[in-house]
Amino acid sequence: MSKMDKKGAVELSMTTIIIIVIGITVLSLGLVWIRSIFSDVGGITKEAFSRGEAEIAQITGDVDEPLSVSPDNLDIEQGDTGDASITVNNLESDEYDVSLTVESVGGGDIACAFDDTFDTTSDTYTLGSGDQLTSLKVLVEDKGSDLGRYGCRIKVAGFPDDASVSLLVNIE
């Protein structure tokens, strides 16, 4: 075997190795890109379903309870914000002036507030017999909580029997 044949064999193997390295690099980058697209689509889908459920609950309302929240389980990222719709039903035969309060529970550093006042106490609303309040939302902001489950306790005052409901908040 001549010296020339050995040089060609070495060059061929070097070219093959370079092509394999480039191929693996392109494949790895492609897989990372596809993974990020699927995680973005998953997040968008989850958010769309959550908003859809909240809108349906806002339209139909839970007419059997004086106070309801939808969704009742909210998933947010660390340092992010989210919201849930609140429905207040006057199941009594008289007209009442009602207001709501919210407090964070579970020990996390989350802030719960209403969208009408951006505070822990809502405005006062007058509800006649059979009326519903569906335009109110509770806003939840994570201010540095650890991963885990926390909550917001929402209370309505003004009815003969005060009602409360909990919004579970999962920090992911």
| pLDDT, tens digit only, all 172 positions of the chain | 555 556 655 666 888 888 999 999 999 999 999 988 888 887 788 777 777 766 665 555 556 788 888 888 888 989 899 999 898 888 888 999 999 999 998 887 899 999 999 999 999 999 998 888 888 999 999 998 889 999 999 999 988 888 899 999 999 8
Check if the beta carbon of residue 90 is closer than 8 Å to that of residue 131. yes
Helix (H, G, I), strand (E, B) or coil at 86: strand
The 3-state secondary structure of 103-171, one letter per residue: EEECCCCEEEEECCCCCCECCCEEECCCCEEEEEEEEEEECCCCCEEEEEEEEEECCCCCEEEEEEEEE
Residue 62 has what pLDDT? 52
Distance CA 77, CA 143 (A): 11
Joined together, the tokens standing for residue 83 give: 């919201």
* pTM summary value: 0.65
Residue 10 has what pLDDT? 60
What domains, with CATH codes, occur in the chain?
61-171 (2.60.40.10)
Amino acid letter, 130? G
